[in-house]
Chain A
Amino acid sequence: MTDHDDTRPHMPLGLALRGYTGVIQHLSTKDTGSALSDIELESRLIELGFVEGARVEVLHEGLVGRDPIAVRVDSITIAVRRREAMAIIVA
């Protein structure tokens, strides 16, 4: 599914810095600290195109705490807070 090296470490997108590119491995909505319930958060992320195998690139960061981030997800750009992006595991 990916053309990335399988040995590349998995990490939450919420920790990625500007310029990071990767592929979504899976969603893990437990303990992100988001105000949304796990299921609601997962549903919303999928609805915005964050599905397994999608290519992501962190395009921009906010001024305060590098938050929120603007992420290119395949062909669209989505703004999310890092807190919610912690649920997106990429490599």
Chain B
Amino acid sequence: MEAPLLHLALVGTPNSGKTSLFNALTGSRQKVANYPGVTVERKEGFFVTPLGRQVSVVDLPGTYSLRGRSPDEEITRDFVLGKASGEIVPDLVLCVADSTNLRLTIRLLLELKRTGRPMILVLNMFDIASRRGITVDVERLAKELGVPVVTSIAVRKGGTADLLALTDEISAKLASEPQENSWRALSVSELRATQREADRIIADCVSLPARPDTWTARIDAVVLHPVGGLIVLALILFVMFQAVFAWAQPAMDLLKSGFDALGELVKATLPDGLLQSFLQDGVISGVGSVIVFLPQIILIFLFILLLEDFGYMARAAFLMDRIMGGAGLHGRAFIPLLSSFACAIPGIMATRVIDNKRDRLTTILIAPLMTCSARIPVYTLIISAFIPAKDVWGFINLQGLVMFGLYTTGIVSALAVSFVIKFFMIRDYAPAPFMLELPDYKMPRLKSIAIGIYTRAKMFLQRAGTTIFSMMVLIWFLASFPQPPAGSTEPAIDFSLAAMIGKALEPLLAPVGFNWQIAVALIPGMAAREVAVAALGTVYAIEGGKEAAEQIGQVLATKWSLATALSMLAWYIFAPQCASTLAVIRRETGSWGWMAVTFTYMLVLAYAASLVTYNVAVALGAG
């Protein structure tokens, strides 16, 4: 008879190399989901031991203790104690330690021991410790701690062999009767006593070199310099932007032409009619318009994971903490907001690094105000059609200046909204303390990063893809039904539900200078902002395609006033027009309410901004 699945749990402090060990054990056999009711990521993977035992392993969120001060840490505690709903009690807990830095993990392990769970201490990154001259008396450590100890080098091939062998050995003699759990939350004096005990054990079993890691000190001398550090940060950001906007372009063009070709193929093979229109306009161009962003998402995550693995992320938070604190934001909000310039979806997903719930919520609410790449096609179209390409003050291009102004307005509004949230909504709340370990720098490991990017790309395609797909079907339906009467010469969309909605919305949008064609274009723009460009093209009965983009511009220039164009730009700074962002906000906050709040406040801001812009422009004679 085959032995039942063995359940392992990985527990450790942040930066202990838990995730690289998880990746080394399971490779790409991973499942990422959420724990029920909370937005904590649940990572489970599978592998087979040398003796053929099937193993499932869960990578629990990093924690310094079992007190559970954040949702992440509560999950870790409940999981180990077997109290997490719908979860199986782990048969064996692997406590993962960074071998170069045992103090905090040994204390955590002493606390974990009280739960009575069978446990192994894994001394990870043992190669780095050896290179630095740190020696560990493994046998003595095991004896003092009363748990088996094994060394591992997660990032090297075969580096987990000892761990696998020990897992087999221990799982063969695991007792089936429930163990005694004597854990309860530690008082301050118990905590202190445990740390003393940990320090004593370390003093007995570990010999540290006289000098600490000199590389980290040398890099930090530059990277954490009050002024130099900010310059380095700005340079890193510049390269990141460059990569996301320029390097991703060829891949995005390739994807786009691939989808266009696929659409053409469908058009050529299928007879004209509903099915052809559904596949070409609804499925292929709709879903394609989102998948086109995959290269940008991959690049953003490549940078984030590289910097995270290297140990730089904590430093960026350190540098930005006070600067962002002025607007009521936490230092850790910096990277999520930065990612939102590519797309708010990975940005909002990246807010998981913020452990305080309210800080995280504020960041999620303002992330969509960062100018994402989907707004670029809309901005480019309108700017090139309405703003003359002349120089101001002799050297600044006016079109570029308007573009810069749109970005700046987005950032300033985000800070203002955050300030308002801090002031009015969450005023009884003092800022969460910023306490963060600055880990020693480590060479990023490509395999681990590749696995990280792969799981995130898969998540993006699965989740955003399904939402977009259903939205696209809906929008295609609205734009296609009812069908035009036979023999009519006007564009088909004029007869559709979308046009009816557009005309119904027109009185509402007239004060901001929008006509019904714009109202119609705003509807498909809900699926993805840049779709509005294609939709305007359809409404003005122009064939799509790259050359046509300039033609749309020419048509717009004759049909819209300058005031309407400026109003449209102002609208797009704020407009909550992205169904997938809203869907991600719902998922990450676990609440329809916050999604509705985001939608409403952005819509109000968009309307107000457009109203002011339009009326000021008309008053100045641009109507």
Q: A51 near B104 (CB under 8 angstroms)?
A: no
- Residues of A42-62 at the interface with B, using a CB-CB cut-off of 8 Å, are 42-49, 51-52, 59-62
Produce 1/0 per residue, A51-91, CB < 8 A to B. Answer: 11000000111111101101010111111110110000000
Q: B437 near A63 (CB under 8 angstroms)?
A: no
Q: Tell me if B322 counts as interface (CB < 8 A to partner A).
A: yes
Q: B436 near A78 (CB under 8 angstroms)?
A: yes
Which residues from A are CB-within-8-Å of B186?
43
Q: A39-B188, A61-B226, A75-B101 are in contact. Are A47 and B64 (CB under 8 A)?
A: yes
Q: Tell me if B208 counts as interface (CB < 8 A to partner A).
A: yes
Q: B195 near A68 (CB under 8 angstroms)?
A: no
Q: Tell me if A41 counts as interface (CB < 8 A to partner B).
A: yes
CA distance in complex: A80, B318 (Å): 9
Q: A63-B226, A74-B103, A75-B101 are in contact. Are A48 and B319 (CB under 8 A)?
A: no
Q: Tell me if A34 counts as interface (CB < 8 A to partner B).
A: yes
Which residues from A are CB-within-8-Å of B440?
77
Which residues from B are CB-within-8-Å of A76?
101, 103-104, 437
Q: B103 near A75 (CB under 8 angstroms)?
A: yes
Q: Which of A49, A63, A79 has the most CB of B within 10 A?
A: A79
Q: Which of A43, A74, A77, A84 has the most CB of B within 10 A?
A: A77
Which residues from B are CB-within-8-Å of A39?
188
* Shortest distance from the beta carbon of B388 to any chain A beta carbon, whole Å: 40
Q: Tell me if B429 counts as interface (CB < 8 A to partner A).
A: yes
Q: A48 near B321 (CB under 8 angstroms)?
A: no
Which residues from B are CB-within-8-Å of A61?
226
- Pick the contact of B432: A35, A43, A48, A72 (CB < 8 A): A35
Q: B436 near A67 (CB under 8 angstroms)?
A: no
CA distance in complex: A43, B210 (Å): 29
Chain A residue with minimal CB distance to B230?
A63
* Shortest distance from the beta carbon of A17 to any chain B beta carbon, whole Å: 13
Q: B191 near A46 (CB under 8 angstroms)?
A: yes
- Residues of B53-78 at the interface with A, using a CB-CB cut-off of 8 Å, are 64-65, 67, 69
Q: Tell me if B31 counts as interface (CB < 8 A to partner A).
A: no
CA distance in complex: A36, B532 (Å): 47
Q: B103 near A68 (CB under 8 angstroms)?
A: no
Known A-B contacts: A35-B430, A61-B226. Give 11 more (CB < 8 A): A44-B69, A47-B107, A62-B318, A63-B322, A67-B321, A68-B322, A70-B318, A76-B104, A76-B437, A81-B321, A81-B435
Q: Which of B65, B107, B188, B433 has the most CB of A within 10 A?
A: B433
Chain B residue with minimal CB distance to A41?
B433
Which residues from B are CB-within-8-Å of A64?
322-323
Prevailing SS type, chain A contact patch: mixed
Produce 1/0 per residue, B311-338, CB < 8 A to A. Answer: 0001001110111000000010000000
Chain A residue with minimal CB distance to B194?
A46
Which residues from A are CB-within-8-Å of B226?
60-63
Closest 5 CB pairs of A and B: A35-B430, A64-B322, A60-B224, A47-B64, A63-B226
- Pick the contact of A51: B67, B195, B319 (CB < 8 A): B195
Q: B103 near A49 (CB under 8 angstroms)?
A: yes
Q: Tell me if B192 counts as interface (CB < 8 A to partner A).
A: yes
Considering only CB atoms and an 8 Å cut-off, how many residues of chain B contact the other chain?
A: 46
27 contacts between A and B (CB under 8 A): A34-B430, A35-B430, A35-B431, A36-B433, A44-B64, A47-B65, A47-B107, A47-B191, A59-B220, A59-B224, A60-B318, A62-B319, A63-B322, A68-B318, A70-B220, A70-B224, A76-B103, A77-B437, A77-B438, A78-B436, A79-B437, A79-B438, A80-B434, A81-B434, A81-B435, A83-B433, A84-B434
Which residues from A are CB-within-8-Å of B445?
none
- Pick the contact of B322: A43, A65, A78, A84 (CB < 8 A): A65
Q: Tell me if B212 counts as interface (CB < 8 A to partner A).
A: yes
Chain A residue with minimal CB distance to B108?
A47
Which residues from B are CB-within-8-Å of A41?
433
Q: Tell me if B227 counts as interface (CB < 8 A to partner A).
A: yes
Q: B227 near A63 (CB under 8 angstroms)?
A: yes
* Shortest distance from the beta carbon of A55 to any chain B beta carbon, whole Å: 12
Q: Tell me if B447 counts as interface (CB < 8 A to partner A).
A: no
CA distance in complex: A78, B101 (Å): 13
Q: A46-B188, A60-B224, A68-B318 are in contact. Are A84 and B103 (CB under 8 A)?
A: no
Q: B322 near A67 (CB under 8 angstroms)?
A: yes
Which residues from A are CB-within-8-Å of B323?
63-64
CA distance in complex: A40, B186 (Å): 11
Which residues from A are CB-within-8-Å of B140?
none
Which residues from A are CB-within-8-Å of B104?
47-49, 76
CA distance in complex: A40, B65 (Å): 12
- Residues of B478-494 at the interface with A, using a CB-CB cut-off of 8 Å, are none
Q: B318 near A75 (CB under 8 angstroms)?
A: no
* Shortest distance from the beta carbon of B344 to any chain A beta carbon, whole Å: 28
- Pick the contact of A35: B192, B429, B438 (CB < 8 A): B429
Chain A residue with minimal CB distance to B185?
A43
* Shortest distance from the beta carbon of B63 to any chain A beta carbon, whole Å: 9
Q: Tell me if B196 counts as interface (CB < 8 A to partner A).
A: yes
Q: B195 near A46 (CB under 8 angstroms)?
A: yes
Q: B101 near A48 (CB under 8 angstroms)?
A: no
Q: Which of B191, B212, B227 has the most CB of A within 10 A?
A: B191
- Pick the contact of A79: B64, B196, B432, B435 (CB < 8 A): B435
Chain B residue with minimal CB distance to A62?
B322
Q: B318 near A35 (CB under 8 angstroms)?
A: no
CA distance in complex: A79, B69 (Å): 19
Q: A51 near B192 (CB under 8 angstroms)?
A: yes
Which residues from A are CB-within-8-Å of B191?
43, 46-47
Which residues from B are CB-within-8-Å of A40?
69
Chain B residue with minimal CB distance to A63?
B226
Which residues from A are CB-within-8-Å of B103?
49, 74-76
Q: B65 near A43 (CB under 8 angstroms)?
A: yes
Q: B322 near A35 (CB under 8 angstroms)?
A: no
Which residues from B are CB-within-8-Å of A81?
321, 433-435
- Residues of B207-254 at the interface with A, using a CB-CB cut-off of 8 Å, are 208, 212, 216-217, 220, 224-227, 230
Which residues from A are CB-within-8-Å of B436?
78-79
Produce 1/0 per residue, B602-619, CB < 8 A to A. Answer: 000000000000000000
CA distance in complex: A34, B188 (Å): 17
Q: Which of B65, B101, B216, B434 has the most CB of A within 10 A?
A: B434
